[in-house]
Structure 1
Amino acid sequence: MKFSYKFSNLLGTVYQEGNLLFSADGNSVISPVGNRITIYDLKNNKSSTLPIESRYNYNALDLSPNGCTLIAINEAGDAHMISLVSQTIVHKYRFKRKVSVVKFSPDGKYFAVCKENKVFVFKAPGPFTGQYNSFIMERVFHGTFDETTCIDWSHDSKMLAVGSKDKSTKLYPMEKWQNFSMYTLGSHTDVIVGCFFEKNNFDLTTISRNGQTCVWECSMEAKNLIPLTSAPPKKKQRKNDELEEDDVDSAKIIEHTEDEISHALTEMNIDNDGAKEKNDKLYYKRLAKHYLGDDVRKENKNAVVTSAAYHRETKILVIGFSTGAFVIHELPELNLIHSLTISDQQISAISLNNTGDWIALGCSGLGQLLVWEWQSETYVMKQQGHSNNMSCIAFSTDGQLLTTGGEDGKVKLWNINSGFCYVTFHEHTCAISDVAFSGNRKFVVSASLDGTVRAYDVIRYRNFRTFTTPRPIQLACVAVDSSGEFVAAGGQDVFEIFLWSVKLGRLLEILAGHEGPVASIAFSPSVTSTVLASASWDKTLRIWDAIEKGSAHETINLTTDGLCVAFKPNGEEVAVATLNGQISTFNVRNANQIASIEGRNDLGSGVSDTNLIGAKKILQAKAFTSICYSANGECLLAGGQSKNVCIYNVNEGIIIKKFEITQNRSFDAVDDFINRRKMTTYGNIDLVEERDEGEGGNVKLRLPGVRKGDMAARSFKPEVRVFSLQFSPTGQMWAAATTEGLLIYSLNVGLVFDPWDLQIGVTPATVRKAISSEDHTNALIMAMKINETNLIQEVIEHIPYKDVELTVSSLSEQYVERLLRIVANFLDNSRHLEYYLHWIECIFTIHGPSIKPQQNLPAILALQKSLTRKYEQLSKLCDHNKYTLDYIIKLGEINSKSETVQVENDESDENENLFNSDVEM
């Protein structure tokens, strides 16, 4: 099995902080999700996360006008110039302070960055400037007395408008002009939130935090700006009455023509009458002052404007408030078009696409991202992650769906292919402790601390069963047997296991025996077995067969408290993780220990900023809280109270690979050692209480004993944790529920050269030679030995349709098993659907009895997943075409009938005319 798993997607976190962007074509939304960036393709209904990771959360983004370059700046001021073509970081720059906003100029030649009370303008590398060096500074603008908050470029990229916390808006020229240097616009009584230029002129609209909106009219256009030349000024000429005969020759004066005199007077700003003209200075006149949000303030007096966006072509202004409401106005009269409330949290970011039809809204408090089409008043996209930590996950049996449970009491279903959550269940009233999929993929069960287990129908999206206990109990874990008929849940405050029937909805059995909280339970995945394993804090692992033997069980003593239990896919072995950082595996039938893994040192210490003990002592308290077998049962995936996820070989008991899920220093306990610069004579500087203003301020102390994060703390910095792990049944990916969100790691087969039984003389050249000589079987065997995806696909697609059956019958059993996985992968990505279906039919018809289901289960599940996905895609298309054809046929029948009636009417009219003419004759 390969272990080249790479990060592929981030689910569950759709927006955290910063600004939102639309792509150049307006069909995708770019959203910062912590220290990563996710692109939501609204046209194809798919999300993808860039394989780029920063050391801190991103808070300022902007996209170049051509849509190829993305500037992303994090909280620490580290700027990354990202190429969206190659999806890599091409340049880096450190501002060393927090940056509030970054903005590209409309012509793509520059981008401006606001840091503290300064504005830095850099040349943008690319074809517009002919400059390919990174971050070449062009101008630096000063003048604001407080931090800058917003920025906007004029339509011709000649002027910058910068809003500030000093309640003013500054206008800066990109070039030096004779009649314009810097201009200040006041008239506001609160912090400037937005400033926007008009399309073809320098007219400006400014918006402050209290809703005041000022519309400004500029006195001149861009063509009237006079460049400031470096030539020395000319000498002033004296008037004619002051000229003396000794100084000037009268004959030479007479020789000057009237045109030359007029030109000279124009250069001196003197008209023909001798009057001096005044230079046209740029100035602004306030046309109107509006107070927006009065309707919003009627409901909440504390409502303030938190974000704003403007579309120049359609003159649409969108303003978001701290109450979750947003309003749409039309400039310059500010006519109210629409108002809507989407939540009770503040709207942190607003963006409009290139046509002005779609509005993207982000709420950082809820982690919510919406795309609203304001003309039809419909949602284009509505996504929201768990508002608190994601505590548990579970894959469906075919690997297409994923369910998550959070501490906010919600259960969500995710589509792995699209990356979107398509249904959310809100029935639980307390935190979700565990979730599980049924074997037939028809329903999901969830256990909660509210004392109930609920079953949800995946097809109809409803809660069709609610299982309760005889007395209120906090349930810590849940499991469903392979047949989907029985559900079991373990108690946290009452040390019992409850068994229900899904069909009847009744409690069948109460399994007593544990003397501590039941931490984890699992049913055997074998179809012929109903064995249940449970791990508890009483240092025991118990194996039950409640369906056949009732409360009879076998007890296995552990060294310390049991935290998590998992079955091998064949159901013959069970693994349990304990509090001392060990993972032990036992045989289910005879309860003998098979192997032991010592994994505490692999977790890493993860020292928090507020820890008073060293890394060595912290490491002694680490343990795995979630384990899972791989699809073939050879390896174990383990994670817990750290940023590391480990893959172990079960039989050898050694670590194969370690994954570091995040490098985000915005989380706590990421580093293994405390930075020496934080250590002072009085201890860690993070333990010193700091207050900025008044009673509040930035207090970093937390409540004692709080590990998941104190939400009441004024400086909230959660610790990085892996709450749950799950391998996909197909073996192609695994998922981890972490503090950062739901991370998906998948295999990229094309990037790894992993030959199988390779021999001398087996090369791509010999494979292609065999193809040209029509030796299809030999060519396929050699290509499978080289194990290059493109080469195997080339060989398979060169085999004629009529020779497929003969080629498959010539292969041995070991080649057929590998071919099954290959064809399942090609079916998912190829358009030759019927051709590969013929391959699958031949494989199962000829070699079906010899294929071992348990050994080839990942390949069979991958094949089922591909077939299901193709069926879903084609069924929608076929239904649409069917109804369209029915409509066309019906329309044709109606038209033919109307034409027939028309012809008959015409014929009757002609006959009548002939009859009348005969009568007249």
Structure 2
Amino acid sequence: MRSNFNFSNLCGTVYRQGNVVFTQDGNSVLSPVGNRVSSFDLVNNNSFTFPCENRKNIARIALSPDGRILVTVDDDGRALLINAKRRTILHHHNFKKPVKDLCFSPDGKFLAVTHGSHVQVWRAPSFLIREFAPMVLFRTYTGHFDSVTSITWSPCSRFFVTCSYDMTARLFTLDTLPGFRPKTLSGHKDRVVNAYFSKDSKSIYTVSRDGAVFVWTAKPSEDESSSEDSEEDSDSDSSSNNDTNVDESRRIADTRWGVSSRHYFNMPATRVVCSTFHQKSSLLVVGFSTGVFGLWELPSFTNLHTLSISQEKVTSVDINPSGEWLAFGAKKLGQLLVWEWQSESYVLKQQGHYSDMNTVSYAPDGQLVATGGDDGKVKLWNLSSGFCTVTFSDHSAAISQVEFAKQGKVLFSASLDGTVRAYDLIRYRNFRTFTSPSPTQFSSMTVDESGEVLAAGSIDTFEIFLWSVQTGKLMDVMSGHEGPVSGLSFGPGGAQLASSSWDRTIRVWDIFRRARTVEPYSINSDALTVVFRPDGKELATSTLDGQIQFWSLEDDKQTGVIEGRKDVSGGRKQDDRITANNNSSGKSFNSLCYTADGNYILAGGNSKYVLLYDVKEGVALKKFQISDNLSLDGTQEFLDSRLQLEDGTNISNGIQGDESDLEDRLDHSLPGAQGGDLSRRKYRPEIRTKSVKVSPTGRTWSAASTDGLIVYSLDESALFDPFDLDIDLTPESVTKTVKKGDYLVGLIMAFRLNDEKIIEMVYTSTPPVEIRLIVKQLPLVYVDKLVSFIGKHMERSVHLEFDLLWVSSLLTFHGRTLRSRQIEFATPLRSVQKGLIDWQKDVTALCEENGFTMEYLLSQPIEVDNVL
């Protein structure tokens, strides 16, 4: 088995905090998920997560106008410059202060960043020239008396307006103009949330938190007529765009700004949290603290649309360039919504688990993943698209286990509410509920291969319950454990059931034998989980002392042990008084999973590491660190000595008291609660892995962690095109390349040109003996294009054997990729399948016709001429 798994996607979280941003084409939306960024493609219905990680949770993101550079800034002001196309880190930068907002200029040459009460403007990095320092400070602007909260550029990229906690907005110019002094726009009674330029830059709109919108225009002056004459003369004399821009800059700089009109939203006990403005259509989108958003047309302030989309406040809003789709983020609920306001319909509505994710399970085909969390919800995630397809909310307490049936479209879930539920994945409904005679909490659950017998273990009664899935009746209650049942696992045949308990024993039950006398396997510590090897001849269990023990069922003895305490150790919590190396708490595995061949085992626990072990050798092959997020507790190895008190304890760095709104600063937690209200995230979540599972295909594995559902895969998601370089791509160069015999390069150049006639010329010119080698060396990024072309070519081609050689080579060398991404390749593969079926029918009809002709000829009498 290959161990070079790489991070593939993060599915269980869609939004955490910060701002959501649309891409330039308006088809995708970028959302911060912890210390990573996820991209949701709204047209092709898929998503991916950038593999780049910030040090802490991301506070703000900004995308360059050309869509090439993505800048992410965490809570401490440390930034990453990311190549958005290649998904790689270009540069690390530290702004040395928390950043409230950052924004690229419309021409993409500058990046404005808030820096306390100042504003820093940096030269944006360029791809056209080699730069020693990608980030160069252009100028620092001052004038505000409190922290700056937002920055907005003018359409000409020569001015920007800033908003601050001091209830004012200021207009700055990028380049120095003689006699210009920054304009102060004051008059609001609460802090200004955002300020925007109109399309013609003749008006400025300011939005305050108390629900007031001011329209700022030029004040009328006494010598207005003379100024108009001078402007007409200057306009008639100017003959270049540069002069026009200078005149426009001069006009904005010389304008005496004043309030021309005041508007109010008139929503009692409601504050403005976020807003955005679409210049082309003059639409103002505002999100309120009650979960309501509205659209207003400026400057007339006409209300076009108002809707309540969330139960909590809307923390971020953005509008796509065409002005049709609105993206909203709700921090408390972790919601990401995309709303089309003209048709009044959802384009995207996703939400992760409200609290921690407890368990994960793969469907038999490996395309779906089920997760259960402390919020009592069961969610199904499509790994190909990264979206949640359905949510079941029938449970009233935390989910402890989810499991797919090997046969049929059925999903089972066990909960602490005392029920085990079965869900129909065709009609998406809860069709059966299993309960015990007396109320109990179920901590573990499993189902046999046939999907007919269901077993669940109890926490408080220490019993194991067996139900019939078809009838829903309780078949048997097995007792014998003297502690909570922590793990259950059915053997391959379904006759043997293994259970682990906190009573330091493992039991193997024969569920079809009437005698219930079972000799337990004694271990030295509490058993946390137990799993069968795929062949059913061996058991693996993890214990509280950090060991993984292996037991042979044929010999009834222990065959091996892995000391995993040192492997899983790592990370120091905020309140730990000892170092990470000497800390023994939590150094154990609470989840195990065998690979399909049974030679390797994946283990995860209350740590930032997931281990892959070789069972036979008993050594760790690889250690996966699931997160580098320092906002989580237990990720850093060494604590900051400056935060330590005299008794050795550490100062808690909770969020409380740093929020801007009063209701966020108030603590409504119960007396004695040290972590605050857990639902409000006023505590440091601990990094841990509660469940790990390997895909049935063996190509991916998933972990239910504090960050969400983290997926690792052997298949590369970001494909590199080695021919995306400086090549003279013309039809003549493609023809010359083919004549030289470089058929692979010629085929790729033809795909780059995207001309079907040129592709067909290279395709038909390829010698049959070269087909297998060309397909083998073809980069994965062009496989879908080749499959699509072959499907179209087979409809009009008469070269049967030639096309079959291409199809056979594709399935031989890229069949695994086509299978793992079958949803993405569904359409081109159907066209190839249709062509093969049509050929089969034609060849079959031709053979039958030839067969009838031969039979007819053979049945005719043979005339023999007698030659004398």
Shift of 1:841: 14
Cα distance change of structure 1 residues 838 and 80 upon mapping to structure 2, 3 Å threshold: closer
Aligned to 1:734: 701
Aligned to 1:291: 264
For each residue in 1:517-573, what CA deviation from the matched residue of structure 2 results, as whole angstroms up to 9, or x when unmatched?
00110112x2x3421111110111111121344645342111111101112122221
Shift of 1:279: 13
Shift of 1:127: 6.5
Whether the aligned pair in 2 keeps the contact of 1:601 and 1:619 (CA below 8 Å) is: no
Aligned to 1:411: 378
Cα distance change of structure 1 residues 745 and 476 upon mapping to structure 2, 3 Å threshold: same
SS in 1 for 2:583: helix
Q: Aligned pair 1:377/2:344, yes or no?
A: yes
Question: How far apart are the structure 1 equivalents of 2:36 and 2:548?
Answer: 33
1:534 is aligned with what amino acid? S
Cα distance change of structure 1 residues 116 and 829 upon mapping to structure 2, 3 Å threshold: farther
2:621 is aligned with what amino acid? I
Aligned to 1:10: 10
Shift of 1:683: 3.0
SS in 2 for 1:677: helix
Aligned to 2:329: 362
Whether the aligned pair in 2 keeps the contact of 1:729 and 1:861 (CA below 8 Å) is: no
Match of 1:458 among 425, 431, 439: 425
Whether the aligned pair in 1 keeps the contact of 2:13 and 2:707 (CA below 8 Å) is: yes
Whether the aligned pair in 2 keeps the contact of 1:476 and 1:492 (CA below 8 Å) is: yes
Match of 1:511 among 460, 474, 478: 478
Whether the aligned pair in 1 keeps the contact of 2:586 and 2:607 (CA below 8 Å) is: no
SS in 2 for 1:214: strand
Aligned to 1:119: 119
Match of 1:282 among 225, 247, 255: 255
Aligned to 1:434: 401
Cα distance change of structure 1 residues 113 and 128 upon mapping to structure 2, 3 Å threshold: farther
1:481 is aligned with what amino acid? D
Whether the aligned pair in 2 keeps the contact of 1:19 and 1:61 (CA below 8 Å) is: yes
List aligned pairs for 1:202-241, cutoff 5 A: 202-218=202-218
2:273 is aligned with what amino acid? T
Shift of 1:218: 3.2
Cα distance change of structure 1 residues 798 and 591 upon mapping to structure 2, 3 Å threshold: farther
2:257 is aligned with what amino acid? Y
Cα distance change of structure 1 residues 837 and 494 upon mapping to structure 2, 3 Å threshold: farther
Question: How far apart are the structure 2 equivalents of 1:645 and 1:570?
Answer: 24
**Greater CA deviation, 563-572 or 682-691?**
682-691
For each residue in 1:708-767, what CA deviation from the matched residue of structure 2 results, as whole angstroms up to 9, or x when unmatched?
x86178842111011110001111111001001111011147999xxxxxxxxxxxxxxx
Aligned to 1:478: 445
Question: How far apart are the structure 2 equivalents of 1:510 and 1:449?
Answer: 18
Aligned to 2:194: 194
List aligned pairs for 1:215-614, cutoff 5 A: 215-218=215-218, 281-292=254-265, 294=266, 297=267, 301-524=268-491, 526=492, 528-549=493-514, 551-614=516-579
Whether the aligned pair in 1 keeps the contact of 2:180 and 2:253 (CA below 8 Å) is: no
SS in 1 for 2:567: helix
TM-score (norm 1): 0.75
Structure 1: unaligned runs, 5 residues or longer: 225-277, 753-771, 773-793, 808-818, 844-858, 880-921
SS in 2 for 1:466: strand
Whether the aligned pair in 2 keeps the contact of 1:600 and 1:620 (CA below 8 Å) is: no
Question: How far apart are the structure 2 equivalents of 1:628 and 1:837?
Answer: 39
Whether the aligned pair in 2 keeps the contact of 1:827 and 1:836 (CA below 8 Å) is: no
For each residue in 1:102-154, what CA deviation from the matched residue of structure 2 results, as whole angstroms up to 9, or x when unmatched?
00111111110012110001111226999774221111111111111111011
1:136 is aligned with what amino acid? V
Aligned to 1:145: 145
Shift of 1:323: 1.2
Q: Aligned pair 1:723/2:696, yes or no?
A: no
Match of 2:644 among 657, 679, 687: 679
Shift of 1:81: 1.4
SS in 1 for 2:403: strand
Question: How far apart are the structure 1 equivalents of 2:647 and 2:669?
Answer: 15
Aligned to 1:766: none
Whether the aligned pair in 1 keeps the contact of 2:549 and 2:562 (CA below 8 Å) is: yes
Shift of 1:177: 2.1
Cα distance change of structure 1 residues 483 and 710 upon mapping to structure 2, 3 Å threshold: same
For each residue in 1:293-342, what CA deviation from the matched residue of structure 2 results, as whole angstroms up to 9, or x when unmatched?
x3xx3xxx432111001100011111001111101111111111111111
SS in 1 for 2:412: strand
List aligned pairs for 1:480-879, cutoff 5 A: 480-524=447-491, 526=492, 528-549=493-514, 551-686=516-651, 711=678, 715-748=682-715, 830-831=787-788
Question: How far apart are the structure 1 equivalents of 2:285 and 2:252?
Answer: 38
Question: How far apart are the structure 1 equivalents of 2:65 and 2:811?
Answer: 52
SS in 1 for 2:520: strand
Shift of 1:837: 11
Cα distance change of structure 1 residues 867 and 377 upon mapping to structure 2, 3 Å threshold: closer
TM-score (norm 2): 0.79
SS in 2 for 1:547: coil
Whether the aligned pair in 1 keeps the contact of 2:457 and 2:485 (CA below 8 Å) is: yes
Shift of 1:704: 8.1
Structure 2: unaligned runs, 5 residues or longer: 225-250, 720-740, 742-761, 792-802, 835-868
Cα distance change of structure 1 residues 64 and 740 upon mapping to structure 2, 3 Å threshold: same
Whether the aligned pair in 2 keeps the contact of 1:179 and 1:279 (CA below 8 Å) is: no
For each residue in 1:67-119, what CA deviation from the matched residue of structure 2 results, as whole angstroms up to 9, or x when unmatched?
11111111111121111122212122211110000001111111100121100
Aligned to 2:184: 184
Whether the aligned pair in 2 keeps the contact of 1:579 and 1:623 (CA below 8 Å) is: yes
